[in-house]
Amino acid sequence: MTAPAQPPATPDLLYSQDEEDLRSAVRALLADRADAPTVIVAAESATPYDQGLWEALATGIGAAGLLVPEKLGGQGASHREAAVVLEELGRTVAPAPYLTSSVVATETLLALTGTGGITPAGDSGPAAALLAELASGSRTAVLAVPFATPPGGAQAALAALDGTVQGIADAAVADVLLVPTAEGLYAVGATAPGVAVEPLVPLDLTRPLAALTLSGAAGTPLAGPDASATAVRRGLLAGAGLLASEQLGIAEWCLAETVRYTRERHQFNRPVGSFQALKHRMAQLWLEVVSARAAARNAADALATGSPDAPLAVAVAQAYCSGVAVHAAEECVQLHGGIGMTWEHPAHLYLKRAKADSIAYGTAGRHREAVAELAELPAP
Amino acid sequence: MSPAVDAAEVRRRTRELLAAHPPATTGRTDFLKARFDAGLAWVHYPQGLGGLDAPRSLQQAVDAELAAADAPDNDPRRIGIGLGMAAPTILGYGTDEQKRRFLRPLWVGEEVWCQLFSEPGAGSDLAALATRAVRDGDDWVVDGQKVWTSSAHAARWAILIARTDPDLPKHRGISYFICDMTDPGVDVRPLRQITGEAEFNEVFLSGVRIPDSHRLGPVGEGWKVAQTTLMNERVSIGGSRIPREGGMIGPVSRTWRERPELRTHGTHQRLLTLWVEAEVARLTGERLRQQLVAGQPGPEGSGMKLAFARLNQEISGLEVELLGDEGLLYGDWTMVRPELVDFTGRDAGYRYLRSKGNSIEGGTSEVLLNIVAERVLGLPAEPRNDKDVAWKDLSR
C-alpha cells in the first residue's frame, strides 16, 4: 500500500468537433424554448415539463438515445456526448427528464442487455424493448430509488412490489418506473393498478420529486437480484458521473451572469466589478469552473471508455463539482445584491438546482468516502 | 515555417544526431552543443538558433527519442530562468548578434542566467522600480538594488530592467538590458529566508557599466519587453504529464498509508478533500497540456499557479500536523545555498515553510487574481492615479 493506482490511459479531456456541434444544437433549442422567464412560469405550473421541448431535444436532436447502441435503436454515441447535453441543461436549469431517463434509467437497462456484459439477456428481451422506447424519446423511465442514493449505496429499497419509495426525481412525469426489489428489478407502468405517484414539494423547483407507493402492483421482471444490483450501481455511477457536467453548466452560467452584471451595475460611481474584493471572488470562481470542467470531462471520458478508473473518476468529479456549483450559485446570489434575492431574477433557480444536485446521487462526503476506499486512504 | 518538418522528420534528425554523437561515448556538453546545432534543442526556434522553425508540439517526439536513448538533457530545472524567461525575450526582442551570442551557451547550460527585476520597493508594483540607468557615451551606468534574485550567485548573465527616464510616467521610462554579472559593480549577497536557506539573493548595482549593444528593445520600451518575460514565467506548465499523486500530495498520502498510528478522523477529512483537489488540479493541468498540443491554448495557465500555491500550502500544513511529535522537529537550520528547490525530497517542515513562497514568487496570488479577473473575465480595472504622472512625482 505505497503507490496509488495510476489511471490506465490518458483521458481525452477536450471536446471533439461533433460534441461542439451537438452543444450548438442543444443550446439553440434551449435558448429558443427554455429561457429563464419560461422556466420560472413552468416551475410554478402543474406541468413543469414542456412536452414540446422534450420531443425536440429527445427526438429532434436525438439526445435521448446517445448512450444506446444503434442496433438497440439509439445514436450509438457515448457519455462524452451526453455530458455535453447536460452541461447545456445545467446552464439553463431547463426542466427535462434527461439525467433521470436518458442517463440513469437507460444505463441501468443497458447493463441488462449484454452491452455491459452483465447478463447475456440479449437484444430482444423486455429491457431491450424498453431501451428502444427510451432512446426514441417516445417514453421516459426513472429508476425508483431516492435521488440522494450514491452509486455504492444502491441496496434495494423494497422487498417486493409493495411499499413506498420517497424522493424519486422526475417520477411524476415518467411513463415507466424501474423498481429494484430484493427479488430483482421490475418495470412498472406509472398508470398501472396499485401504483400511486404522489408529487412532493421539492427544494429544486425545476426537478420535481415524488413518492412512489406500490400496493399489489404488477411489473415486468427484468433481472434477478444480483444482476439488478449490478445494473442499478452502473446506472447510478453514470448518473453521478454525468451530474458533474450539469453542475459545471450551472457554475458556468452563474459565473458568466455575475461577471456580466457586476460590469454593468454601478455603485460608488464605479462598476462594482472593478472592486478588487469582488474581482478576486469571481477570479477564484473561474479557477473552480475550469477545474470542474477537467474533473467532469475526466469522469465522462472514463465512463465512455469503460475505464477501470471510472469509479474513482466519478467520485473525484462528484466530490469536487458539487461544491463548485453551490459556491458559484451562492456567489451569484450574493454578488447580485438585492436583486439576487428576488423571485423574478433566475439566480434562485440555479441556487436551488445546485444545492439539490449536491445531494443527488450521493453528497460530496459520500463520494470522498468512495475516494478513501479507491485511493487506499483508509479512515483511522 | 518549413513544411518539410513533421514528426517523422524530427525523429529522423534525432536518430541522425544520436548516430553521429552516441550518448554513451560523447561528453555531456559536447552532446548538448551538437543537439543545439542540429536544431533539436527547441524545435520551434529558428534554424541556426537551436530550432527548425517547426511546430512546438514536435518537441515531444524529439524528447521521447532522446530519453529512450538515455541522452543527457540540458537540466531545465537548473537553467530555468535562462530557458523560461531570458531566451524567449532575447528571441523576441534581441538583435541577430545578441541571439547568436547568447542563446547557445544559455541552452547548453554553460552560462546560467538570473533575473534582476524585483526591488525592495517594487515587487507586485514592478513598474515602480527605482534602479537607474544613465547614458554615458556607448554605455549605460546602472545604480540600484534588486532582491529575490535566485541563481544570482551562479549566474553569468542577468536580464535587468532599469529606469532610463524618471520624467516619464512609470511604465514608459523603463529600458531592458542584459547585465554582465562579473562586472565589478555587481555585488551579490545571500538573502537568508524563512527556511534558513539562502536560495535567493540581494543584488547591489553600483556604477555597473552596460554597453548599449546589450540593450534589449528600444529605449523606454522596457516594460513592454518585460511583459514577454513575465508571460513566459507563468507558462512553465504544460510540458509533460503529471502522474497521480505527483505533487505534494504524494508524500503525505504515503505517510498516511504507511503509518496508521498517525491517523485521526479530522486529518482524514482534510486529506481526502485535498487529495481530490490535487487530483482535479492534475487533471486541469493535463487538460491545459492537451489544449496546447492541439494548438488551442486556453487561459487555464493563468490559474494553475494560483491553484498549486494554495494546495501546496494546505497540504504541507496538514502534513506537519499529521506527523505530530515529529512535526515539532526541523531537518536542518544551517544556512546553505541550494542549487534547486526540492519539494518532495525534503522534510515536511521545509515543505511547509518553502511553500509560503509559492503565493508570492512569480506574481503574488493577489496580482494573479487581478490578472484573471481583468484579462480572462474582462472585469474593469480599479481606478488608478499613477498612470499619467511622471515617475519622479509619485510618492514612494
Asked if B380 lies within 8 A of A2 by C-beta distance, the reply is no
Asked if A280 lies within 8 A of B383 by C-beta distance, the reply is no
* pLDDT band at residue A122 under the 50/70/90 scheme: low
Q: Where are the beta strands (DSSP E) in A47-175?
A: 141-143, 163-169
Helix then strand count (H, E) for chain A reads 11, 9
Task: Give the best residue of A12, A286, A322 to mutate against chain B (max B CB count within 10 A).
Answer: A286
| Coil vs helix vs strand at A140 | coil
Q: What is the pTM of this model?
A: 0.92
Q: Nearest C-alpha of chain A: how many angstroms from B100?
A: 39
pLDDT, position A115? 54
C-beta of residue B62 within 8 angstroms of C-beta of residue B9: no
Q: How many CB atoms lie within 10 A of CB A215?
A: 12
Contacts of B176 (CB under 8 A, 6+ apart): B89, B93, B159, B160, B161, B215, B216, B217, B221, B222, B225, B226
Q: What is the CA radius of gyration of chain B?
A: 23
Determine the Cα–Cα distance for residues A319 and A296; give it in Å rounded to an integer: 11
Task: Give the best residue of A6, A10, A287, A312 to mutate against chain B (max B CB count within 10 A).
Answer: A287
Size of interface A-B (CB pairs under 8 A): 141
pLDDT, position A118? 42
Asked if B377 lies within 8 A of A280 by C-beta distance, the reply is no
Asked if A295 lies within 8 A of B283 by C-beta distance, the reply is yes
C-alpha cell at A181: 426489489
Asked if A286 lies within 8 A of B372 by C-beta distance, the reply is yes
Per-residue pLDDT at A116 exceeds 50: no
Contacts of B27 (CB under 8 A, 6+ apart): none
Determine the Cα–Cα distance for residues B165 and B222; give it in Å rounded to an integer: 11
Q: Nearest C-alpha of chain B: how many angstroms from A258?
A: 10
- Cα four-point dihedral sign A33, A34, A36, A37: positive
C-beta of residue A131 within 8 angstroms of C-beta of residue A110: yes
C-beta of residue A316 within 8 angstroms of C-beta of residue B279: yes
What tens-digit pLDDT sequence spans chain B (396 residues)?
Answer: 445 688 899 999 999 999 999 999 999 999 999 999 999 999 999 999 999 999 888 888 899 999 999 999 888 878 889 998 999 999 999 999 999 999 999 999 999 999 999 999 998 899 999 999 999 999 999 999 999 999 999 999 999 999 999 999 999 999 999 999 999 999 999 999 999 999 899 999 999 999 999 999 999 999 999 998 887 765 554 456 789 999 999 999 999 999 999 999 999 999 999 999 999 999 999 999 898 878 787 788 878 899 999 999 999 999 999 999 999 999 999 998 887 777 777 889 999 999 999 999 888 999 999 999 999 999 999 988 888 899 999 987
Of B241, B265, B296, the CB nearest to A379: B265
Pick from A170, A95, A107, A93: nearest CA to A135: A107
Q: What is the CA radius of gyration of chain A?
A: 20
Determine the Cα–Cα distance for residues A177 and B158; give it in Å rounded to an integer: 71
Q: Judging by beta carbons within 10 Å of its beta carbon (0-12, 13-18, 19+), is residue B140 exposed, middle or buried?
A: buried
Asked if B272 lies within 8 A of A371 by C-beta distance, the reply is yes
Rounded (to 5) percent helix, strand, coil in chain B: 45, 15, 40
What's the angle, vertex CA B102, arms to CA B101 and CA B106, rounded to 5? 140
Q: How many CB atoms lie within 10 A of CB A201?
A: 7
Task: Give the best residue of B369, B374, B385 to mutate against chain A (max A CB count within 10 A).
Answer: B369
pLDDT, position B259? 97
Give B253's contacts in chain A (Cβ within 8 Å).
4, 375, 377
Strands A209-214 and A195-199: antiparallel
Pick from A207, A188, A9, A230: nearest CA to A89: A207
How far is C-alpha B346 from the geometric centre of its chain's CA atoms? 21
Determine the Cα–Cα distance for residues B193 and A310; give it in Å rounded to an integer: 44
C-alpha cell at B29: 556538453
| Coil vs helix vs strand at A97 | coil
Pick from A314, A175, A59, A358: nearest CA to B280: A314
Pick from A287, A294, A292: nearest CA to A248: A292
Task: Give the best residue of A254, A268, A282, A290 to mutate against chain B (max B CB count within 10 A).
Answer: A290
Give B380's contacts in chain A (Cβ within 8 Å).
263, 270-271, 273-274
Of A282, A297, A371, the CB nearest to B377: A282
Asked if A274 lies within 8 A of B291 by C-beta distance, the reply is no
For cell 518538418, name the residue.
B5
The interface predicted TM-score of the complex, written ipTM, equals 0.95
Give A292's contacts in chain B (Cβ within 8 Å).
280
| Coil vs helix vs strand at B337 | coil
Of B271, B377, B380, the CB nearest to A377: B271
Q: How many CB atoms lie within 10 A of CB A213?
A: 16
Active site residues of B: 233
Of B263, B303, B382, the CB nearest to A286: B303
Asked if B280 lies within 8 A of A14 by C-beta distance, the reply is no
Q: Nearest C-alpha of chain A: how many angstroms from B116?
A: 29
Determine the Cα–Cα distance for residues B117 and B147; give it in Å rounded to an integer: 8
Residue range A364-375, pLDDT digits in tens: 999 999 999 999
Determine the Cα–Cα distance for residues B290 and B300; give it in Å rounded to an integer: 12
Helical H segments across chain B, by residue range: 7-20, 28-37, 59-68, 80-81, 87-93, 96-108, 222-234, 249-258, 265-293, 300-322, 348-354, 365-371
Residue B65, amino acid: E
Pick from B119, B117, B133, B220: nearest CA to B173: B220
Asked if B298 lies within 8 A of A279 by C-beta distance, the reply is no
Of B257, B279, B377, the CB nearest to A376: B257
C-alpha cell at A302: 472514463
Contacts of A142 (CB under 8 A, 6+ apart): A97, A100, A101, A104, A105, A168, A169, A170, A171, A174, A176, A177, A178
Pick from A128, A125, A134, A138: nearest CA to A72: A128
Give A3's contacts in chain B (Cβ within 8 Å).
245
Side-chain-facing half-sphere of B133: CA atoms under 13 Å: 27
C-beta of residue A189 within 8 angstroms of C-beta of residue A162: no
Give A4's contacts in chain B (Cβ within 8 Å).
244-245, 253
pLDDT, position A157? 75
Task: Give the best residue of A247, A259, A267, A279 to mutate against chain B (max B CB count within 10 A).
Answer: A279
pLDDT, position B292? 82
Q: Nearest C-alpha of chain B: how many angstroms from A257?
A: 11
C-beta of residue B176 within 8 angstroms of C-beta of residue B222: yes
**Residues linked to residue A213 through DSSP beta bridges, in sequence order:** A164, A196
pLDDT, position A335? 98
Give A327's contacts in chain B (Cβ within 8 Å).
none
Asked if B374 lies within 8 A of A4 by C-beta distance, the reply is no
Determine the Cα–Cα distance for residues A140 and A197; give it in Å rounded to an integer: 15
Asked if B253 lies within 8 A of A4 by C-beta distance, the reply is yes
Residue range A209-220, pLDDT digits in tens: 999 999 999 999
Virtual CA dihedral for B375, B376, B378, B379, nearest 10 degrees? -90
A252: closest chain B residue by CA:
B377
Give A262's contacts in chain B (Cβ within 8 Å).
379
C-alpha cell at B229: 518575460
Give B377's contacts in chain A (Cβ within 8 Å).
259, 279, 282-283, 286
Q: Nearest C-alpha of chain A: how many angstroms from B382?
A: 5
Asked if B376 lies within 8 A of A283 by C-beta distance, the reply is yes
Helix axes A79-92, A276-304, angle to 10 degrees: 150
* pLDDT band at residue A3 under the 50/70/90 scheme: low
For cell 433549442, name the residue.
A29
Pick from B80, B74, B10, B3: nearest CA to B38: B10
Q: Nearest C-alpha of chain B: how many angstroms from A105?
A: 28
Pick from B366, B363, B341: nearest CA to B354: B341
C-beta of residue A243 within 8 angstroms of C-beta of residue A99: yes
C-beta of residue A133 within 8 angstroms of C-beta of residue A169: no
Residue range A338-370, pLDDT digits in tens: 999 999 999 999 999 999 999 999 999 999 999
B281: closest chain A residue by CA:
A291
Per-residue pLDDT at A91 exceeds 70: yes
Asked if A287 lies within 8 A of B303 by C-beta distance, the reply is yes
Asked if A279 lies within 8 A of B300 by C-beta distance, the reply is no
pLDDT, position B234? 57
Q: Which residues of B258-283 are buried (b: 16+ CB within 10 A; e: fewer)?
A: eeeebbeeebbebbbbbbbbbbbbbb
Residue range B58-107, pLDDT digits in tens: 888 899 999 999 999 888 878 889 998 999 999 999 999 999 999 999 99
C-alpha cell at A120: 447475456
C-beta of residue A354 within 8 angstroms of C-beta of residue A324: no
Asked if B243 lies within 8 A of A6 by C-beta distance, the reply is yes
C-beta of residue A299 within 8 angstroms of C-beta of residue A103: no
C-beta of residue A292 within 8 angstroms of C-beta of residue A320: yes
Q: Nearest C-alpha of chain B: how many angstroms from A15?
A: 10
Q: Nearest C-alpha of chain B: how many angstroms from A372?
A: 7
